[in-house]
Homo-oligomer: A and B are copies of this chain.
Amino acid sequence: MSDMTVTLSDVAREAGVSLATASRAINGSANRTVRPELRERVLAAAARLRYSPDANAQAMARGRTTALGLIVHDIADPYFSTIASGVTAAAERAGLVVTLASTDRDAGRELAFVELMQRQRARAIIVAGGRHDDDAANRALADALVEYRSRGGGAAAVGQPLLGVDTVVIENRSATAELVRQLHGRGYRRFAVLAGPTAHLTAHERLDGFRTSLDDLGTPLDPDLVIPCAFTRDGGYEAMEQLIARGVVGRAGTGSGGSGQPVEAVFAVNDVMAVGAMAAARAAGLDVPGDVAIAGFDDIITLRDITPSLTTIRLPLADIGAMVTELALAPDNDAPRLVPVDGEVILRDSTPPLA
C-alpha cells in the first residue's frame, strides 16, 4: 500500500526545511543558493523517502516540457527506423525524450499527432517521411505546424520542403542523375523504372532525376517503361512481373517481343522495391544481373549483403535523424532553413559493367 505518492512537501518536512529550499536543493538550478549542509539533508531525506519528482508538475510550473514528437510513416520500415535511431540519440544528448507516432501514411493521423503534441506542449515536432502530392493534406499539416510554432514549439522535417518548416532536404534528383551517369559509364543505355506511386513526391523526384539525366545523355527513357506501383517490396515485385509479362525484360539475347530492344537495367525507386523486383525476376527464371541489371535507392543496411549486391544510393539516414533533431531544436528562425543532403552512388554487382 505504498501507493501514497511522496511529494516535495514530504521531503521538505522530513528534512526540516521549507518547500522552496527543498525545491532548490533538488533541482540544483543555475543559482545554487542553498547551503551545502541543508542541501545534503534534503537529498538524504529525498533518498530516504524514495522521492521521485513529478515531471508533469515540473512541466507545468516551469512552463516547458522535455518531450520531442517524432512522426514516421512506419517504424517497422528500415528507412524510418534508422532515422528514428538518429533522432533518439540526438534527443538523448539534448536531454529530451522522444514520443513516437507511426502513422501508416495516414494524413489524418499525422494531423492528430501534431495536435496531440501541441497539447503535450512538446518542445518540438519532427516529421520524417516524404510527402504525397496531396495539396490539401500538406497544407493542413503545414497549417498545424504553423500553429504549433506560433505557440513556441519547434518543428522540422525530412524530405521535401513543403511544410514551411526547417527541412533536411534529400537531393533525390541529383542523386538519381548521378546514378544514371555512372550506369551510363558502365555501358547501360536502355532502362525501365519501377516508379512507385505517382503521387509520392519522393518517388517522383527519384524518377524525375533519372529521366532528366537520361534525356541529357541523349538516351531518353521510354515512357512505357516507367511502371507505377506501390512503394513497397510487393510493389516492386508486381511491377517487375509486368515488365516480364510484356517481354521487355527477359532472357539476355532473347529479343523477345515488346517495344524493340530489351531493357538492360531496371531502376527501382527504393531498395525494398529493388529486392522485390529481384525476387520477381528469379521467380520468372531470370538471372540478375545476367538477364537484367537492377538498382535501388537508400542503401538499407540490412540489405547490404544480398546477392547480387545491390547498386544503390546511400543516404546517411542516422545522420539525417540527428540533423533534423538539431533543426527542430534550434532557436526559431524566420525563414525555414533547408539543409540539403546528397546521396552517394554505390555501384555493386547488380549492375556490372556491360560487356
Contacts and interface: CB of A to CB of B under 8 A. Distances in A.
Contacts of A275: 302, 305
B102 A89 contact: yes
A278 interface: yes
A99 B98 contact: yes
A318 B76 contact: yes
Stoichiometry (number of copies): 2
Contact of A97 (B50, B116, B282, B306): B116
A305 B318 contact: no
Interface string A129-153: 0000000000000000001001110
Interface in A44-63: 50, 52-57, 59-60
A98 B275 CA distance: 31
A151 B2 contact: yes
A336 B266 CA distance: 53
A245 interface: no
A25 interface: no
A313 interface: no
Interface stretch (A80-88, A175-183, A191-199, A248-256): A80-88
A268 interface: no
A91 to B, nearest CB: 9
Contacts of A97: 99, 101, 116, 120
A118 interface: yes
A3 B152 CA distance: 7
Interface in A93-142: 97-102, 115-116, 118-121
Contacts of A8: none
Interface in A204-238: 233
B78 A302 contact: yes
Contact of A307 (B74, B77, B80, B282): B282
B307 A150 contact: no
A332 to B, nearest CB: 11
A320 interface: no
B151 A5 contact: yes
A276 interface: yes
Interface string A6-41: 000000000000000000000000000000000000
A5 B148 CA distance: 11
Interface of A: 2-3, 5, 50, 52-57, 59-60, 65, 67, 70, 74-78, 80-82, 84-85, 88-89, 97-102, 115-116, 118-121, 147, 150-152, 233, 272, 275-276, 278-279, 282, 300-303, 305-307, 318
16 contacts: A2-B150, A3-B152, A5-B151, A52-B151, A55-B121, A56-B59, A75-B81, A75-B84, A75-B85, A75-B88, A78-B78, A81-B84, A88-B100, A275-B302, A278-B305, A306-B307
Given A52-B115, A76-B84, A97-B101, 20 more contacts: A2-B151, A3-B151, A5-B151, A52-B119, A53-B119, A55-B119, A56-B120, A75-B88, A76-B318, A77-B81, A78-B81, A80-B81, A84-B100, A84-B102, A88-B100, A88-B101, A97-B99, A99-B99, A272-B302, A275-B305
